[in-house]
Structure 1
């Protein structure tokens, strides 16, 4: 097999790795894992459309760009964190600007009992052994190229633990702000999150921007829910429109654990999200609900894989996509019910609207069943607004533009109806409405 072609993108990040002075560099096992992942990234290069996992997302233009690590101090100091406040979310928080932890903007004093919350850079200064399993991971699968890059270069992130039996009343807020005025800066964050047996937590993750830029951001998260734990995770992605954001999330649910994930994708020029969930314990349950709204030349690619690995597990996934202009959305949802996962119940719905003749959405639900007594269903649609509904609204005197917006909003809004925090639910719907086309 011929070696992959080296690109300015790969070269620039290898140069950054050679110059990096990352936290924890003195920890032998961590340094070894970083080297192995960097070598794998250098050997593999960027993925291309010949790979099934990247079939609909070309990275040729990204490959010609060079990125440098750095922190625009002037822009970072000018950040007004109040501009990114979310209704009802005023509890513990970690704030990162251009991938760098900002203690002056964070709220980590007087944490509730049972909650441990700190930046990765700080956690590595203490006993790093509890992080070894997650941070020594070697990514070898095709399609994991950016996870390798992140594992090699991540210098900060979130370490969050909830003790067994602890029920954290206030949501925890993780805020990531792109602030540099200069283009072509790269940042990489790594998260390790664990909920102990019977623990409960609401987590709100927000990617935002205080200025237009063309950054590269990568994020890898390892999330584990122990027996009976419950997690509600809301993720709002509203990054700068010129930016590239690559995410790789792995979630493991042990016996009777429950996770509810709500995702709203609005920003970014090129966004890729790999979400891998393992229902590893009997009677574990997952609910995922996501919406993307695209315009211009935005490109968002979501690759979700849910594995039912134990008895009587359940998953329900509801996704909606809206594409306008010359944008492109990609959604691949794979559900695998493994041998021995008898009695599992899985459903997946992907419905999408094209608001422009030049927009495109590719959706591919997949279902593999190797167990008995399983309930499973999946469906996907890509279409336009219903002309009869438009005609009905216009016959009531509603202008065409407003009628289209009303129908599109109704199409998306139902996704967040089950979110219990009313203020946050209304905020997500408001952000969604603000991104819908006005003409």
Structure 2
């Protein structure tokens, strides 16, 4: 960057913030140089604006106008503070990060199966001089906020499965923003390296406590070996003062399978980017998402699937439930490249408006450059069936309860695809509790 180049005041703040904490960030000197290069990329691009097509409906001005800082250490958080976010009967290994720092006391990583490594990302970087800040196998991580994360991240979960290894039970990764101090930011990065014929299930759970505004920026990388299978469940429950941005990047080799489930329930503003690149034959990506903005919440899901080779499969189904003044955005892009013959792809986004003040912007996109493919995409927006509401009311259910039950049924079809009953019940109850009158029927879940 030249000396005469203009720097926005907010960017100038983050340059100073990086200089303040750089020496305390985990990793080798080589990784510090990587971080500095990513900081330059972020500073030159700045925060994305609504002038960019991919950010047309989501303004980050509430984030940009603040001056978020990395805490020197995590605020005290006890198991009682996060107990409500531990689904009953979910038998799982657990990693807990508080304000971006690994918390050993709250984590539980005993008796991992042979061939499976689960540890904090910071310890992995510190113990491996050649470890990179960004996975070499991921072809690209577009976006200035992913560059910001690569520069600033303090910790995360590192999972590696050897050839043929199976993680015996889910890994529950809870990232907590304490919300105790004003304008703190949490920068977290996870990496999953899946060996040939290996399997794992990871639940990424972001949680906000306290009543102070904060910014959570998370990136997850998945490097998929041949015939590897990853089930990833993302549950976003930031606080009402939380600004949440997260990105997922998967690079998929032959016969690999990724099942990605996303549930957006919290936050003042949430922007989620989910990306997969299918680079070898018979690879599959399955994306399922439910977003439920209420009040004045804003939730934006952007997805991109690159079919870069023949004989690959993608399935993508999202459902939105919007109440109050809630606003939802869905932009799903599927690109079938020239050499991706015999691709099989399907995408659908459906939204249910529970209020005349709610709004949804849906933009499914399909680009096809091959001539022997099966592909379909579509989008619908509607309201509850008043006849069905009347039927439930005639059976003794009040107005709000009837609408909550019907809304629950609409979203629950995707919740049940997770395949983990304790987690499904947890998400179902959380969804019901968000609906007007639904809290009284949460026992249905």
**TM-score normalized by the length of structure 1:** 0.93
Aligned to 1:417: 416
Aligned to 2:372: 373
Give, in whole Å, the separation in 1 of the partners of 2:64 and 2:148: 14
For the aligned residue pairs, the C-alpha RMSD in angstroms reads 2.2
Q: Partner of 1:125: helix, strand, or coil?
A: helix
Report how far residue 314 of structure 1 moved: 0.9
2:43 is the alignment partner of 1:46: no
Q: Partner of 2:113: helix, strand, or coil?
A: coil
Give, in whole Å, the separation in 2 of the partners of 1:431 and 1:198: 35
Mapped contact 2:125–2:131 kept (Cα < 8 A): no
Mapped contact 2:99–2:175 kept (Cα < 8 A): yes
2:191 is the alignment partner of 1:192: yes
Give, in whole Å, the separation in 1 of the partners of 2:36 and 2:378: 42
Aligned to 1:27: 29
Aligned to 2:103: 102
With over 3 angstroms needed to count, the CA separation of the structure-2 counterparts of 1:340 and 1:157, relative to structure 1, is same
Give the total of aligned pairs: 434
Give, in whole Å, the separation in 1 of the partners of 2:37 and 2:411: 43
390-399 vs 205-214, greater mean Cα deviation: 390-399
2:114 is the alignment partner of 1:118: no
Which consecutive unaligned segments of at least 5 residues does structure 1 have? none
103-112 vs 232-241, greater mean Cα deviation: 103-112
Mapped contact 1:245–1:272 kept (Cα < 8 A): yes
Give, in whole Å, the separation in 1 of the partners of 2:357 and 2:417: 33
With over 3 angstroms needed to count, the CA separation of the structure-2 counterparts of 1:395 and 1:252, relative to structure 1, is same
Aligned to 2:443: none
2:207 is the alignment partner of 1:208: yes
**TM-score normalized by the length of structure 2:** 0.92
248-257 vs 59-68, greater mean Cα deviation: 59-68
With over 3 angstroms needed to count, the CA separation of the structure-2 counterparts of 1:77 and 1:254, relative to structure 1, is same
Aligned to 1:400: 399
231-240 vs 202-211, greater mean Cα deviation: 202-211
Mapped contact 1:75–1:180 kept (Cα < 8 A): no
Mapped contact 2:141–2:249 kept (Cα < 8 A): no
Report how far residue 271 of structure 1 moved: 0.8
Aligned to 2:161: 162
Per-residue deviation, residues 267-326 of structure 1 (Å, max 9, x unmatched): 111111111111112111111111011111111111100111222111111100011111
Mapped contact 2:208–2:242 kept (Cα < 8 A): no
Q: Partner of 1:12: helix, strand, or coil?
A: helix
Aligned to 1:64: 65
Aligned to 2:230: 231
With over 3 angstroms needed to count, the CA separation of the structure-2 counterparts of 1:73 and 1:341, relative to structure 1, is closer
Mapped contact 1:138–1:148 kept (Cα < 8 A): no
Give, in whole Å, the separation in 2 of the partners of 1:139 and 1:230: 21
Which consecutive unaligned segments of at least 5 residues does structure 2 have? 439-445
With over 3 angstroms needed to count, the CA separation of the structure-2 counterparts of 1:427 and 1:210, relative to structure 1, is same
2:381 is the alignment partner of 1:382: yes
With over 3 angstroms needed to count, the CA separation of the structure-2 counterparts of 1:282 and 1:210, relative to structure 1, is same
Aligned to 2:151: 152
Aligned to 2:442: none
2:52 is the alignment partner of 1:17: no
Mapped contact 1:71–1:98 kept (Cα < 8 A): no
Aligned to 2:308: 309
